Amino acid sequence: MKSKTKLTGRVIFRGDPGYEAARKNWDPHTDRFPKVFVFAQRTKDVSNAIRWARENNVPIRPRSGRHALEVNLSQVNGGIVIDVSDLNSIKLDKKNGTVVVGTGNRVGRIANTLAKQGFIAPFGDSPTVGIGGITLGGGIGPLQRTIGLISDNLLEVEMVDAKGKVLRANKNHNADLFWASRGGGGGNFGV
């Protein structure tokens, strides 16, 4: 495939070592064969993957926790899977009571990390779900009556749009995108 954009991050094409391991999802009945997996190491890798896919007319599937219940939700035959699971930093600001998490984290890891520091956060009932997907879907969980949904506690998102542009959204900047990212858009506006 000819493209002016180069894939970056950890890139695994069909036939490469690690391809079968990359195909594994939580649901063992997901049997799709993507053309390529991009395991993003930074936001720019996500941007490059989206641009590459657009230039080559390849369908895109984002993936975080590999917990998709629908067959085509996180994999696609002949497409590109942009896996953000390596974007898993957790930075707690104890003074302000806020945390910045990479979208590659699973909720159990975040909950355990925060609990060790004396903090809690709203999460779903499965520790293996990726934080990105559950947040963009609203984030229903057992603590919602006490501290709200995950989306109620979201302060800002960094997202790559369908053209590969990196955006920040909060209540003051890209406010419509921020609203949609708090459960109003089902995760349909970017990666």
Q: What is the pLDDT of residue 124?
A: 75
Distances (CA, A) of 158 to 24, 49, 69, 135: 27, 16, 25, 13
Residues 120, 143 contacting (CB under 8 angstroms): yes
Whole-angstrom distance, CA of residue 47 vs CA of residue 168: 14
What percent of the chain is predicted at pLDDT more than 90? 64
Task: Provide the token pair at 64.
Answer: 């975080």
Q: E strand or H helix at 11, and its extent?
A: strand 10-13
Which strands make up the sheet holding 80-83, listed edge to edge? 10-13, 36-39, 80-83, 60-63
Q: In the predicted model, what is the mean pLDDT of residues 31-35? A: 91
First vs last Cα of the chain: how many Å apart?
Answer: 23
Per-residue model confidence as pLDDT tens digits over 114-172: 999 999 888 877 888 888 888 888 788 887 888 888 889 999 999 999 999 999 999 99
CA 2, CA 20: separation in Å to the nearest integer? 25
> Which domains, ranges and CATH numbers included, belong to the chain?
10-83 (3.30.43.10), 90-184 (3.30.465.10)
DSSP string covering 104-166: T-BHHHHHHHHHHTT------S-TTSBHHHHHHT----TTHHHH--TGGG---EEEE-TTS-E
- List, for residues 53-76, the tens digit of each pLDDT value: 999 999 999 988 776 666 667 788
| Sign of the CA dihedral running 69, 148, 87, 119 | negative
Q: Half-sphere exposure of residue 35, counting CA atoms within 13 Å on the CB side?
A: 14
Cα–Cα distances in Å, from 110 out to 11, 22, 117, 129, 136?
Answer: 26, 23, 11, 11, 16
> Which pTM was predicted?
0.91
**Rounded to whole angstroms, how far apart are CA atoms 76 and 61?**
7
